[in-house]
A and B are shown apart, each in its own frame.
Chain A
Amino acid sequence: MLSDTDGGVDARRHPEEPDAVPEPPRHPEEPDAVPEPPVLEAADVTMHFTVRGGLGRTSTVKALEHASLRLRRGRIVALVGESGSGKTTLARLFALMYTPTSGEIRLRGEPVGPRRGRAAREYYSEVQMVFQDPFASLNSMHTVRHNLARALRIHGRAGRDDIEERMHALLERVSLTPTRDFIGKLPHELSGGQRQRVAIARALAVGPKVVLGDEPISMLDVSMRLDILNLLARLRDEEDLALLYITHDIAGARYLAEEIHVMYAGQMVEGGPTEEIIQNPQHPYTRLLLGASPDPARTLTPGGSSVFADVEDSGEPPNLTDPPPGCRFHPRCPFATDSCRRAFPARTELPTGQWVHCWLYPSGAST
């Protein structure tokens, strides 16, 4: 590969963070935060998809470039970015549905490769996913009972005597009460919000440490959304879950998450504590997003109209089969310079706990 993105790789590789070493020395990302190690971590992962076009031609979709993300106990990390920015791809890498082109996924610091059989089961007993469309993620031919029973059985979390009891307890935890009314239902007999609760209960049944939520509320009625958000917040607080919350809706992310990470066209551009990102965005793209948002300081509107519709007026996100070299935002960025076109900037840590990938910030200015 001779593309310019390779130059970006080198420029971005932080001197203190060589990727080959399994346990890199950690940055004090948040100076005053708990230095607890992450449960699940994406370390510098890149994902290129090879797609076959007509006439046997193939092309490569560069869906994700050198993304790093850490999930910690009892914390929610929101991942925001417009459509096609690679959010689902990152979640699916965490779910081991793809093998990363480079970089690795680590569970409690241990690299995880592709797994099958018992090894996969072990991983999935800690990492679960809640999909976007609760109609698609529940088999239309199986009852709530089947979904929960399988989850409990596979992971040996219930025996013959207590399985009913456990299933009812799970439904209780996701507030599907009276549980007796729900346990025998088929998906099409439930509302979208109820279906999503079943999907959440199924994920919880295995007793996971990490739950990956890929836009879990975007397909639901507006009236249901806040309930589901509150349910997720409760799970974080009561069960100490680590949660990845993928969304288009910055207000929802602000309501729920401790940290917000912003992606653009497969690159992580900025991240940090929620309020810092909202009040004090540094990256030009984040500023564009929040500036376009009708009221960046607004409190929660669970309806959450996407701000990306407005942002798209200022230009199209790039084609990922042939992305712009360097910082992929440069064709739209008012501050773009030659270095932006040459290489992707390294991560710059700011004293506020934020980090940003942008040439406007002196490289290596980490605290």
Chain B
Amino acid sequence: MVRRLLKDWKVRLGVAVFAAFCLLALLGPWLTSALLHQSPTRLDLNAVSSPPSSKHLLGTTASGQDVLAQLVTGTRESMLAGLVASVLGTFIAVVVGVTAGLAGGIVDSALTGLTNVFLTMPGFALIFVISGYTRGGGPVVIGIIIGLFGWAGGTRALRAQAMSLRNREFVLAMRMLGESRWRLAMSEVLPHLIGWISAMFLGGFVGGVLAESGLAFLGVSDPSTVSWGIMISDAQQGNALISGMWWWFAPPGLCIALLGASVALINFGVDEISNPRLRGANRALVKRAQEASRAKEVSHAR
């Protein structure tokens, strides 16, 4: 399945960009300190608000911090928040949604009620209040809060999918073999939800990054950490936009956009792959379209 996925250029591009960010998050801070001898917090008072130069590849902030070093460190913090938020959020959504859809009856009613409660809660406001209460607390805490309050959206889709899968004949046939409920869920139903789940995971990831940035921008964040959101927030407070210090706010903004785009590209491919029939249909459709256009050309040529 992975190999088939990687045949798609969109997926390859998306995965490459995403992987680059992951690598950056893992190795970046070490690279900046070991190779560029920069730290995200050290103030270089000789070069305040300086544009990109050979010494500071992405320039410096208004207080003389190296933007590249900040960006790289921020990658780690932002992605950690996204990862925690999406792992937690997707896990809860899958457990609640699939259980509700497969079990039906009273279990379903209870879980659907719970989902609706979380769905109607003003999520971001609550996240805002709670993270204000926990004083930001760093990317992991923010990720946990985002995950805990953000799982409900995808749950309904998963429940509906699981419900329709439950009565499909291949599930009935495996049940008639005596397959246990656990295996029916894990091995017959879940593989059909991979598309949904990975889309939710990746969407949750970007959502987590965005939410973290949003919170940081609004000032609800641990000021001793550096994340993309905090960079943008600092840049805004430092009047970077007005004084034309694009190197300060553009890189973190671009990183967020790039990460979002890479995720969207991967999702396109996953959608196609997780549904072999759709894929076949697409191919048949493309072929027919090609034939049609060829026929048109031929008739024009005559």
Contacts and interface: CB of A to CB of B under 8 A. Distances in A.
B169 A151 contact: no
A124 B177 CA distance: 6
B173 interface: yes
B170 A139 contact: yes
B280 interface: yes
Interface string B242-284: 0000000000000000000000000000000000110010000
B276 A128 contact: no
Interface string B168-180: 1111111011111
A202 to B, nearest CB: 7
B177 to A, nearest CB: 5
A124 B170 contact: no
Interface residues of A, number: 27
A121 B173 CA distance: 13
Contacts of B177: 124, 128, 150-151, 154-155, 202, 206
Interface in A149-206: 150-151, 154-155, 186, 188, 199, 202, 206
A117 B276 CA distance: 32
Given A154-B177, A155-B178, A206-B177, A131 B191 contact: no
Q: Which of A133, A142, A186 has the most CB of B within 10 A?
A: A142
Contact of B178 (A120, A139, A140, A141): A120
Chain B facing A: main interface SS: helix
B178 A202 contact: no
Given A151-B177, A154-B177, A137 B191 contact: no
Interface in A101-135: 117, 120-121, 124-125, 128-129, 131, 133
Nearest to A121: B178
A205 B170 CA distance: 16
B243 to A, nearest CB: 56
A138 interface: yes
A136 B169 CA distance: 6
Contacts of A142: 187-188, 191
Interface in A189-227: 199, 202, 206
Contact of A128 (B176, B180, B187): B176
Contact of A188 (B168, B174, B192, B277): B277
A97 interface: yes
A125 B178 contact: yes
A138 B176 CA distance: 13
Q: Which of B169, B171, B173, B187 has the most CB of A within 10 A?
A: B173
B284 to A, nearest CB: 12
Nearest to A138: B170
B93 to A, nearest CB: 21
Contacts of A128: 176-177
Nearest to A212: B176
B114 to A, nearest CB: 23
Q: How many B residues touch the partner, as a band? A: 20 to 34
Contacts, number: 59
Interface in B140-190: 168-174, 176-180, 183, 187-188
B176 A124 contact: yes
Interface in B185-231: 187-188, 191-192
A137 B178 contact: no
B178 A136 contact: no
A140 B277 contact: yes
Contacts of B169: 131, 133, 136-137
A95 B175 CA distance: 10
A188 B176 contact: no
Contacts of B172: 97, 131, 137
A95 B178 contact: no
A186 B276 CA distance: 10
A137 B179 CA distance: 15
Contacts of B187: 142
A129 B172 CA distance: 10
B110 to A, nearest CB: 20
Contacts of A138: 170, 173
A154 B188 CA distance: 15
A136 B192 contact: no
B197 to A, nearest CB: 14
Contact of A129 (B168, B173, B178, B276): B173
A117 B192 CA distance: 24
A24 to B, nearest CB: 28
Contacts of A154: 177-179
B170 to A, nearest CB: 4
Q: Which of B168, B179, B191 has the most CB of A within 10 A?
A: B179
A110 B188 CA distance: 32
Given A97-B172, A202-B173, A140 B179 contact: no
Contacts of A186: 276
A128 B277 CA distance: 28
A254 B255 CA distance: 71
Contacts of B174: 139, 150
Contacts of A137: 169-170, 172-173
Contacts of A129: 173, 176
Given A131-B169, A202-B177, A206-B178, 14 more contacts: A121-B178, A128-B177, A131-B173, A136-B169, A137-B169, A137-B170, A138-B173, A139-B174, A141-B191, A141-B192, A142-B191, A150-B177, A154-B178, A186-B276
Q: Which 8 A-B pairs have the closest CB atoms?
A: A121-B178, A136-B169, A139-B170, A137-B169, A141-B191, A137-B173, A124-B178, A131-B169
Interface of A: 95, 97, 117, 120-121, 124-125, 128-129, 131, 133, 136-142, 150-151, 154-155, 186, 188, 199, 202, 206
Interface of B: 168-174, 176-180, 183, 187-188, 191-192, 276-277, 280
29 contacts: A120-B178, A124-B176, A128-B176, A128-B177, A129-B173, A129-B176, A131-B169, A131-B172, A133-B169, A136-B170, A137-B169, A137-B172, A139-B174, A140-B170, A140-B276, A140-B277, A141-B276, A142-B187, A150-B179, A150-B183, A151-B177, A154-B178, A154-B179, A155-B177, A155-B178, A186-B276, A188-B280, A206-B177, A206-B178
